Amino acid sequence: MSRDLFKRIKTIRVKLINENRIKAQTKMVDPHHRIKVIIIVDKSSLEILDIEAKMMKIPYQICLKTIPKIKRLKGARIQEGFYKRVKEVIGGREGCIHLVDLIMDTARGIFQMALKIMTSGMKKEEQKKILMEKLKNSCLGYKEEEGGNEKE
């Protein structure tokens, strides 16, 4: 008989709230935490217009002191260098690794939604070109190949 010794669930929801804005919410639940991050961005620029976090269950009350720091990400854009900025603002000894992870999970969800919006209605070859341009070398599937981008 086996049973889970630890279980963590993350849920990411992304939606278009009007023609110019994307709202994303990520929740994390495990035996010690219940944390939520909400980010609203401009659809075109991916600039963060608003960001908030809620810690409904945490192991230590001191963890709450990390929440105000995320407001320093307002105005940042989800683009190259974003992860570094998030780590500077909310990571390390005075931060919260869970907020770093949740912000990055949320940003990835926003980025995927933005790519879907950007490429909707395009022919498959056009979509492929844009995806390769935006995701180049982000993973094996988008690895820039010598002499072209043909995949097996």
Number of compact structural domains in the chain: 1
Tell me which residue of 42, 79, 34 sits closest to 58, measured CA to CA: 34
pLDDT value of position 133: 86
pTM summary value: 0.88
118 lies in a domain? yes
The pLDDT tens digits of the residues spanning 8-32 come to 999 999 999 999 999 999 999 999 9
| CATH code assigned at 16 | 3.30.390
4 lies in a domain? no
Tell me which residue of 75, 73, 63 sits closest to 34, measured CA to CA: 63
The pLDDT tens digits of the residues spanning 72-105 come to 999 999 999 999 999 999 999 999 999 999 999 9
pLDDT at 150 over 80: no
pLDDT value of position 147: 54
47 lies in a domain? yes
Angle (nearest 5°) at CA 120 between 119 and 122 = 70
- Domain hosting residue 127, numbered range: 9-142
Measure the CA–CA gap between 28 and 8, rounded to whole angstroms.
Answer: 7
3 lies in a domain? no
